[in-house]
Protein backbone atom coordinates (compact mmCIF):
# COMPACT_ATOMS: atom_id res chain seq x y z
CA UNK A 1 0.00 0.00 0.00
CA UNK A 2 2.84 2.40 0.85
CA UNK A 3 4.46 1.87 -2.54
CA UNK A 4 1.13 2.52 -4.32
CA UNK A 5 0.83 5.88 -2.54
CA UNK A 6 4.41 7.14 -2.48
CA UNK A 7 6.08 5.23 -5.27
CA UNK A 8 9.35 3.35 -5.00
CA UNK A 9 12.77 2.92 -6.52
CA UNK A 10 13.21 -0.51 -8.12
CA UNK A 11 15.36 -2.86 -6.06
CA UNK A 12 16.68 -6.16 -7.27
CA UNK A 13 15.57 -9.10 -5.20
CA UNK A 14 18.32 -10.96 -3.37
CA UNK A 15 20.93 -8.37 -4.31
CA UNK A 16 24.30 -8.96 -2.56
CA UNK A 17 25.26 -6.43 0.10
CA UNK A 18 28.37 -4.99 -1.57
CA UNK A 19 26.86 -4.31 -5.03
CA UNK A 20 23.79 -2.73 -3.43
CA UNK A 21 25.98 -0.65 -1.12
CA UNK A 22 28.12 0.53 -4.05
CA UNK A 23 25.06 1.52 -6.08
CA UNK A 24 23.42 3.51 -3.28
CA UNK A 25 26.41 5.16 -1.56
CA UNK A 26 27.36 8.80 -2.18
CA UNK A 27 30.63 8.26 -4.04
CA UNK A 28 31.47 11.97 -4.13
CA UNK A 29 31.44 12.25 -0.35
CA UNK A 30 33.45 9.05 0.07
CA UNK A 31 36.03 10.22 -2.50
CA UNK A 32 36.42 13.57 -0.72
CA UNK A 33 37.03 11.80 2.59
CA UNK A 34 39.73 9.62 1.02
CA UNK A 35 41.36 12.71 -0.48
CA UNK A 36 41.34 14.50 2.88
CA UNK A 37 42.98 11.49 4.53
CA UNK A 38 45.64 11.40 1.80
CA UNK A 39 46.32 15.11 2.27
CA UNK A 40 46.57 14.51 6.02
CA UNK A 41 49.27 11.88 5.51
CA UNK A 42 51.12 14.21 3.11
CA UNK A 43 51.05 17.06 5.62
CA UNK A 44 52.00 14.66 8.43
CA UNK A 45 55.18 13.80 6.55
CA UNK A 46 56.09 17.49 6.67
CA UNK A 47 54.80 18.48 10.12
CA UNK A 48 55.57 15.58 12.46
CA UNK A 49 59.34 14.76 12.10
CA UNK A 50 60.47 17.71 14.27
CA UNK A 51 58.17 16.60 17.10
CA UNK A 52 59.27 12.98 16.69
CA UNK A 53 62.92 14.01 16.97
CA UNK A 54 62.15 16.11 20.04
CA UNK A 55 60.46 13.14 21.75
CA UNK A 56 63.16 10.65 20.74
CA UNK A 57 61.13 8.71 18.15
CA UNK A 58 61.82 7.69 14.58
CA UNK A 59 61.28 10.56 12.08
CA UNK A 60 57.98 9.18 10.78
CA UNK A 61 56.68 7.77 14.07
CA UNK A 62 53.58 9.98 14.11
CA UNK A 63 52.90 9.47 10.41
CA UNK A 64 52.94 5.69 10.90
CA UNK A 65 50.49 6.00 13.79
CA UNK A 66 48.30 8.30 11.74
CA UNK A 67 48.27 5.79 8.89
CA UNK A 68 47.32 3.00 11.30
CA UNK A 69 44.53 4.92 13.05
CA UNK A 70 43.38 6.29 9.72
CA UNK A 71 43.16 2.77 8.31
CA UNK A 72 41.03 1.75 11.29
CA UNK A 73 38.87 4.86 10.80
CA UNK A 74 38.29 4.13 7.11
CA UNK A 75 37.42 0.51 7.87
CA UNK A 76 34.94 1.61 10.55
CA UNK A 77 33.53 4.19 8.15
CA UNK A 78 32.92 1.62 5.40
CA UNK A 79 31.36 -0.93 7.78
CA UNK A 80 29.10 1.69 9.35
CA UNK A 81 28.02 3.00 5.94
CA UNK A 82 26.72 -0.48 5.06
CA UNK A 83 24.35 -0.55 8.04
CA UNK A 84 20.65 0.24 7.93
CA UNK A 85 19.47 3.48 9.58
CA UNK A 86 17.75 1.42 12.29
CA UNK A 87 20.96 -0.40 13.17
CA UNK A 88 22.92 2.86 13.10
CA UNK A 89 20.39 4.37 15.51
CA UNK A 90 20.63 1.46 17.93
CA UNK A 91 24.43 1.34 17.93
CA UNK A 92 24.61 5.15 18.09
CA UNK A 93 22.47 5.29 21.23
CA UNK A 94 24.51 2.51 22.88
CA UNK A 95 27.74 4.26 21.90
CA UNK A 96 26.44 7.52 23.33
CA UNK A 97 25.64 5.90 26.67
CA UNK A 98 29.14 4.38 26.91
CA UNK A 99 30.83 7.67 25.93
CA UNK A 100 28.62 9.66 28.34
CA UNK A 101 29.66 7.44 31.27
CA UNK A 102 33.31 7.72 30.20
CA UNK A 103 32.99 11.52 30.05
CA UNK A 104 31.41 11.64 33.50
CA UNK A 105 34.28 9.59 34.98
CA UNK A 106 37.04 11.75 33.49
CA UNK A 107 37.54 13.90 36.63
CA UNK A 108 38.28 10.70 38.58
CA UNK A 109 40.14 8.50 36.08
CA UNK A 110 41.26 10.91 33.35
CA UNK A 111 44.50 12.76 32.73
CA UNK A 112 45.48 16.12 31.22
CA UNK A 113 48.92 15.14 29.82
CA UNK A 114 50.23 18.42 31.22
CA UNK A 115 47.88 20.55 29.06
CA UNK A 116 45.69 21.81 31.91
CA UNK A 117 42.46 20.16 30.73
CA UNK A 118 41.40 16.66 31.82
CA UNK A 119 40.11 15.28 28.50
CA UNK A 120 41.80 11.91 28.01
CA UNK A 121 42.13 8.38 29.34
CA UNK A 122 45.69 7.13 29.17
CA UNK A 123 45.99 3.52 27.98
CA UNK A 124 49.78 3.47 28.00
CA UNK A 125 50.22 2.76 24.29
CA UNK A 126 47.56 5.34 23.31
CA UNK A 127 45.00 7.77 24.72
CA UNK A 128 41.24 8.07 24.28
CA UNK A 129 39.23 11.30 24.27
CA UNK A 130 35.58 10.40 25.11
CA UNK A 131 34.14 13.68 23.82
CA UNK A 132 35.14 12.76 20.25
CA UNK A 133 33.07 9.56 20.39
CA UNK A 134 30.24 11.27 22.27
CA UNK A 135 29.42 13.71 19.44
CA UNK A 136 28.10 11.30 16.77
CA UNK A 137 26.22 9.30 19.40
CA UNK A 138 24.62 12.46 20.78
CA UNK A 139 23.48 13.55 17.31
CA UNK A 140 21.80 10.17 16.74
CA UNK A 141 20.14 10.20 20.17
CA UNK A 142 18.91 13.80 19.82
CA UNK A 143 17.55 13.12 16.31
CA UNK A 144 15.73 10.03 17.57
CA UNK A 145 14.12 11.98 20.43
CA UNK A 146 13.14 14.90 18.19
CA UNK A 147 11.68 12.60 15.55
CA UNK A 148 9.71 10.71 18.22
CA UNK A 149 8.25 13.99 19.53
CA UNK A 150 6.62 14.57 16.12
CA UNK A 151 4.54 11.41 16.42
CA UNK A 152 1.02 11.39 17.87
CA UNK A 153 1.25 11.05 21.67
CA UNK A 154 5.02 11.03 21.33
CA UNK A 155 7.39 11.89 24.19
CA UNK A 156 8.67 15.47 24.79
CA UNK A 157 11.74 14.60 22.76
CA UNK A 158 12.90 18.15 22.06
CA UNK A 159 12.95 19.05 25.74
CA UNK A 160 14.64 15.74 26.62
CA UNK A 161 17.34 16.22 23.96
CA UNK A 162 17.96 19.77 25.22
CA UNK A 163 18.42 18.45 28.75
CA UNK A 164 20.97 15.92 27.52
CA UNK A 165 22.78 18.63 25.54
CA UNK A 166 23.00 20.91 28.59
CA UNK A 167 24.37 18.05 30.72
CA UNK A 168 27.08 17.35 28.11
CA UNK A 169 27.96 21.03 27.74
CA UNK A 170 28.30 21.39 31.52
CA UNK A 171 30.67 18.41 31.77
CA UNK A 172 32.76 19.63 28.83
CA UNK A 173 32.97 23.17 30.24
CA UNK A 174 34.30 21.79 33.53
CA UNK A 175 37.28 20.09 31.82
CA UNK A 176 37.50 22.85 30.40
CA UNK A 177 36.74 22.18 26.71
CA UNK A 178 34.62 25.06 25.46
CA UNK A 179 35.25 24.21 21.81
CA UNK A 180 33.63 20.77 21.98
CA UNK A 181 30.85 22.18 24.19
CA UNK A 182 30.04 24.81 21.56
CA UNK A 183 30.08 22.16 18.83
CA UNK A 184 27.60 19.94 20.70
CA UNK A 185 25.28 22.89 21.35
CA UNK A 186 25.54 23.96 17.70
CA UNK A 187 24.63 20.47 16.44
CA UNK A 188 21.59 20.40 18.72
CA UNK A 189 20.53 23.88 17.55
CA UNK A 190 20.75 22.90 13.87
CA UNK A 191 18.64 19.79 14.40
CA UNK A 192 16.14 21.72 16.51
CA UNK A 193 15.84 24.31 13.73
CA UNK A 194 15.27 21.62 11.08
CA UNK A 195 12.70 19.97 13.37
CA UNK A 196 10.62 23.16 13.27
CA UNK A 197 11.70 25.22 16.25
CA UNK A 198 10.11 28.70 16.55
CA UNK A 199 12.54 31.54 15.83
CA UNK A 200 11.70 33.29 19.09
CA UNK A 201 12.87 30.28 21.07
CA UNK A 202 16.09 30.05 19.05
CA UNK A 203 16.80 33.74 19.72
CA UNK A 204 16.20 33.16 23.44
CA UNK A 205 18.63 30.23 23.42
CA UNK A 206 21.24 32.34 21.61
CA UNK A 207 20.81 35.04 24.25
CA UNK A 208 21.25 32.48 27.01
CA UNK A 209 24.47 31.27 25.36
CA UNK A 210 25.79 34.85 25.37
CA UNK A 211 24.97 35.22 29.06
CA UNK A 212 26.69 31.93 29.88
CA UNK A 213 29.72 33.10 27.88
CA UNK A 214 29.88 36.31 29.92
CA UNK A 215 29.64 34.29 33.13
CA UNK A 216 32.45 31.98 31.95
CA UNK A 217 34.60 34.98 31.05
CA UNK A 218 34.23 36.37 34.58
CA UNK A 219 34.80 33.06 36.36
CA UNK A 220 37.17 31.02 34.16
CA UNK A 221 40.77 32.17 33.76
CA UNK A 222 41.25 29.71 30.87
CA UNK A 223 38.25 31.10 28.97
CA UNK A 224 39.13 34.73 29.70
CA UNK A 225 42.73 34.25 28.52
CA UNK A 226 41.53 32.82 25.18
CA UNK A 227 39.05 35.68 24.63
CA UNK A 228 41.55 38.39 25.64
CA UNK A 229 44.14 36.95 23.28
CA UNK A 230 41.61 36.93 20.45
CA UNK A 231 40.44 40.51 21.05
CA UNK A 232 43.92 41.96 21.56
CA UNK A 233 44.86 44.32 18.67
CA UNK A 234 48.47 43.11 18.81
CA UNK A 235 49.60 39.54 18.26
CA UNK A 236 52.70 38.22 19.97
CA UNK A 237 54.77 36.62 17.18
CA UNK A 238 56.16 34.06 19.66
CA UNK A 239 52.77 32.51 20.40
CA UNK A 240 51.18 29.63 18.47
CA UNK A 241 48.83 32.02 16.70
CA UNK A 242 51.74 34.30 15.87
CA UNK A 243 53.74 31.47 14.30
CA UNK A 244 50.68 30.26 12.40
CA UNK A 245 49.88 33.73 11.05
CA UNK A 246 53.45 34.21 9.87
CA UNK A 247 53.50 30.79 8.18
CA UNK A 248 50.26 31.47 6.31
CA UNK A 249 51.50 34.86 5.07
CA UNK A 250 54.88 33.37 4.01
CA UNK A 251 53.21 30.63 1.96
CA UNK A 252 51.55 32.93 -0.56
CA UNK A 253 49.73 31.30 -3.48
CA UNK A 254 52.02 28.36 -4.15
CA UNK A 255 54.00 27.88 -0.93
CA UNK A 256 57.68 27.99 -0.10
CA UNK A 257 58.25 24.41 -1.27
CA UNK A 258 57.86 20.88 0.06
CA UNK A 259 59.91 20.45 3.23
CA UNK A 260 61.03 24.09 3.24
CA UNK A 261 58.55 25.35 5.83
CA UNK A 262 59.75 26.57 9.23
CA UNK A 263 56.54 26.69 11.28
CA UNK A 264 56.73 22.96 12.10
CA UNK A 265 59.90 23.63 14.12
CA UNK A 266 58.16 26.27 16.26
CA UNK A 267 54.61 24.99 16.75
CA UNK A 268 54.18 22.10 19.20
CA UNK A 269 50.72 21.37 17.68
CA UNK A 270 51.75 21.74 14.04
CA UNK A 271 50.60 18.19 13.27
CA UNK A 272 47.22 18.56 15.04
CA UNK A 273 45.46 21.87 15.76
CA UNK A 274 47.56 23.98 13.35
CA UNK A 275 48.06 21.55 10.49
CA UNK A 276 46.47 24.06 8.10
CA UNK A 277 49.36 26.47 8.80
CA UNK A 278 51.81 23.83 7.56
CA UNK A 279 49.68 23.33 4.44
CA UNK A 280 49.54 27.08 3.77
CA UNK A 281 53.29 27.59 4.26
CA UNK A 282 54.63 24.68 2.23
CA UNK A 283 51.93 24.29 -0.43
CA UNK A 284 50.31 27.72 -0.45
CA UNK A 285 46.80 29.00 -0.83
CA UNK A 286 46.01 26.54 -3.62
CA UNK A 287 46.12 23.50 -1.32
CA UNK A 288 44.15 25.35 1.38
CA UNK A 289 41.43 26.16 -1.16
CA UNK A 290 41.36 22.51 -2.24
CA UNK A 291 40.89 21.41 1.39
CA UNK A 292 38.07 23.93 1.85
CA UNK A 293 36.45 22.73 -1.38
CA UNK A 294 36.55 19.12 -0.20
CA UNK A 295 34.82 19.98 3.09
CA UNK A 296 32.23 22.08 1.27
CA UNK A 297 31.52 19.25 -1.16
CA UNK A 298 30.96 16.76 1.68
CA UNK A 299 28.55 19.05 3.53
CA UNK A 300 26.62 20.30 0.49
CA UNK A 301 26.30 16.86 -1.13
CA UNK A 302 25.06 15.36 2.13
CA UNK A 303 22.49 18.11 2.73
CA UNK A 304 21.29 17.88 -0.87
CA UNK A 305 20.65 14.15 -0.57
CA UNK A 306 19.01 14.57 2.84
CA UNK A 307 16.55 17.09 1.39
CA UNK A 308 14.99 14.17 -0.52
CA UNK A 309 14.61 12.00 2.56
CA UNK A 310 11.12 11.34 4.02
CA UNK A 311 12.14 9.80 7.34
CA UNK A 312 12.40 12.63 9.92
CA UNK A 313 14.98 10.76 12.01
CA UNK A 314 17.30 10.29 9.04
CA UNK A 315 16.90 13.93 7.98
CA UNK A 316 17.65 15.25 11.47
CA UNK A 317 20.56 12.92 12.24
CA UNK A 318 22.16 13.38 8.83
CA UNK A 319 21.84 17.17 9.00
CA UNK A 320 23.37 17.25 12.48
CA UNK A 321 26.31 15.08 11.46
CA UNK A 322 26.99 16.99 8.23
CA UNK A 323 26.83 20.43 9.86
CA UNK A 324 28.92 19.37 12.85
CA UNK A 325 31.57 17.95 10.50
CA UNK A 326 31.71 21.15 8.45
CA UNK A 327 31.68 23.52 11.43
CA UNK A 328 34.52 21.64 13.14
CA UNK A 329 36.65 22.13 10.02
CA UNK A 330 35.62 25.80 9.87
CA UNK A 331 36.54 26.34 13.53
CA UNK A 332 39.96 24.73 13.13
CA UNK A 333 40.84 26.86 10.09
CA UNK A 334 39.22 29.97 11.58
CA UNK A 335 41.46 29.73 14.65
CA UNK A 336 44.58 29.46 12.47
CA UNK A 337 43.78 32.74 10.67
CA UNK A 338 42.56 34.38 13.90
CA UNK A 339 38.92 34.67 12.89
CA UNK A 340 37.95 32.73 16.03
CA UNK A 341 39.37 32.38 19.57
CA UNK A 342 41.89 29.58 20.06
CA UNK A 343 40.33 26.16 20.63
CA UNK A 344 41.90 22.70 20.84
CA UNK A 345 40.05 21.23 17.87
CA UNK A 346 41.41 19.01 15.12
CA UNK A 347 40.85 19.27 11.36
CA UNK A 348 38.75 16.17 10.52
CA UNK A 349 40.69 13.42 8.71
CA UNK A 350 43.69 15.73 8.22
CA UNK A 351 45.05 16.36 11.73
CA UNK A 352 46.91 13.71 13.71
CA UNK A 353 44.96 12.02 16.50
CA UNK A 354 43.66 8.49 16.98
CA UNK A 355 40.44 9.43 18.79
CA UNK A 356 39.66 12.16 16.28
CA UNK A 357 40.27 9.90 13.27
CA UNK A 358 38.29 6.90 14.50
CA UNK A 359 35.41 9.00 15.84
CA UNK A 360 35.40 10.89 12.55
CA UNK A 361 35.20 7.56 10.72
CA UNK A 362 32.17 6.58 12.81
CA UNK A 363 30.46 9.94 12.20
CA UNK A 364 31.06 9.97 8.44
CA UNK A 365 30.08 6.30 8.22
CA UNK A 366 26.76 7.19 9.86
CA UNK A 367 26.36 10.11 7.44
CA UNK A 368 27.03 7.86 4.44
CA UNK A 369 24.51 5.33 5.77
CA UNK A 370 21.86 8.04 6.15
CA UNK A 371 22.46 9.52 2.67
CA UNK A 372 22.30 6.22 0.79
CA UNK A 373 19.48 5.96 -1.71
CA UNK A 374 16.69 3.73 -0.43
CA UNK A 375 13.58 2.24 -2.10
CA UNK A 376 11.23 5.11 -1.26
CA UNK A 377 9.54 8.01 -2.94
CA UNK A 378 11.22 11.35 -2.50
CA UNK A 379 9.63 14.00 -0.30
CA UNK A 380 9.23 16.30 -3.34
CA UNK A 381 7.00 13.68 -4.97
CA UNK A 382 4.70 13.72 -1.92
CA UNK A 383 4.49 17.54 -1.92
CA UNK A 384 3.62 17.63 -5.62
CA UNK A 385 0.71 15.22 -5.07
CA UNK A 386 -0.86 17.43 -2.40
Mean pLDDT calculated for residue range 347-373 = 93
Q: What is the pLDDT of residue 225?
A: 75
- Given pLDDT bands bounded at 50, 70 and 90, which one contains residue 12? low
SS3 20: helix
Average pLDDT over residues 289-310: 95
pLDDT value, residue 125:
75
Is 210 part of any domain? yes
Got the DSSP string for 289-341? Answer: HHHHHHHHHHHHHHHHHHTT---HHHHHHHHHHHHHHHHHHHHHHHHHTTSS-
Q: Is the pLDDT of residue 77 over 50?
A: yes
Across the chain, the runs of DSSP E, i.e. the strands, are 121-122, 127-128
Is residue 14's pLDDT more than 60? no
Q: What is the pLDDT of residue 236?
A: 63
Q: Which domain holds residue 245?
A: 19-385
The answer to whether 219 and 311 are in contact (CB under 8 A) is no
Backbone φ and ψ of 177, nearest 5°: -145, 80
Mean pLDDT of 299-323: 94
pLDDT tens, position by position, 219-234:
777 677 777 777 776 7
Percent of the chain residues topping a pLDDT of 70: 91
Cβ-based neighbour number of residue 325 at 10 Å: 24
Domain count, the chain: 1
Q: What is the pLDDT of residues 252-265, one digit of tens each?
A: 888 888 777 778 77
Radius of gyration of the chain (CA): 22
Query: What pLDDT digit, counting tens, does each position of 101-143 carry?
Result: 999 999 888 888 767 678 888 887 778 899 999 999 999 999 9
22-31, 205-214, 342-351: range with lowest mean pLDDT: 205-214
Q: Over 60: is that where the pLDDT of 200 sits? A: yes
- Give me the mean pLDDT over the 313-320 stretch: 96
pLDDT of 380: 53
In angstroms, the Cα distances linking 331 to 2, 26, 182, 216 are 43, 25, 10, 20
| Higher pLDDT among residues 293 and 260, named by residue | 293
- Confirm whether 9 is domain-assigned: no
Task: Give domain status of residue 222, yes or no.
Answer: yes
Q: What is the pLDDT of residue 8?
A: 44
Establish whether the linkage from the previous residue to 192 is cis, with ω within 30° of 0: no
Higher pLDDT: 339 or 343? It is 339
The bridge status of strand 121-122 relative to strand 127-128 is: antiparallel
Q: Is residue 306 part of a domain?
A: yes
Cα 237 vs. chain centroid, distance in angstroms?
29
DSSP of 31-90, one letter per residue?
A: HHHHHHHHHHHHHHHHHSHHHHHHTT--TTHHHHHHHHHHHHHHHHHHHHHTS-HHHHHH
Residue 347: the pLDDT is: 92
pLDDT at 385: 52
Query: Is 13 domain-assigned?
Result: no
The answer to whether position 12 is within a domain reads no
Mean per-residue pLDDT, 157-177: 90
What percent of the chain has pLDDT above 90? Answer: 45
286 pLDDT higher than 80 = yes
CA atoms within 13 A on the CB side of 189: 19
Question: Where does the pLDDT of residue 203 fall: very low under 50, low under 70, confident under 90, or very high at 90 and above?
Answer: confident
Q: Is there a domain that residue 2 lies in?
A: no
The count of C-alpha atoms lying within 13 angstroms of the C-alpha of 254, restricted to the half-sphere facing its C-beta, is: 1
- What is the predicted pLDDT for the residue at 4? 42
- Model confidence band, residue 52 (pLDDT cutoffs 50, 70, 90): confident
Residue 176 is assigned to a structural domain of this protein: yes
End-to-end alpha carbon distance in the chain: 18
Amino acid sequence: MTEMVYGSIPQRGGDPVLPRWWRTIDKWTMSCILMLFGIGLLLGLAASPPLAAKNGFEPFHYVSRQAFFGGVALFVMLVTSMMSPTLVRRLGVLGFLAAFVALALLPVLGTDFGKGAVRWYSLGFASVQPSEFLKPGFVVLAAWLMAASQEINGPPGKAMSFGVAIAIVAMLALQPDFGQAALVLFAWGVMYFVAGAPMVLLVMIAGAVVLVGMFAYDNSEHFARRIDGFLSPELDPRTQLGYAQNAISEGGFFGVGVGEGQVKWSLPDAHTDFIIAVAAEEYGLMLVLLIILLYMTIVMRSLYRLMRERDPFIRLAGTGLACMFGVQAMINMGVAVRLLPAKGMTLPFVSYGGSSLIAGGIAVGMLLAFTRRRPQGEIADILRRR
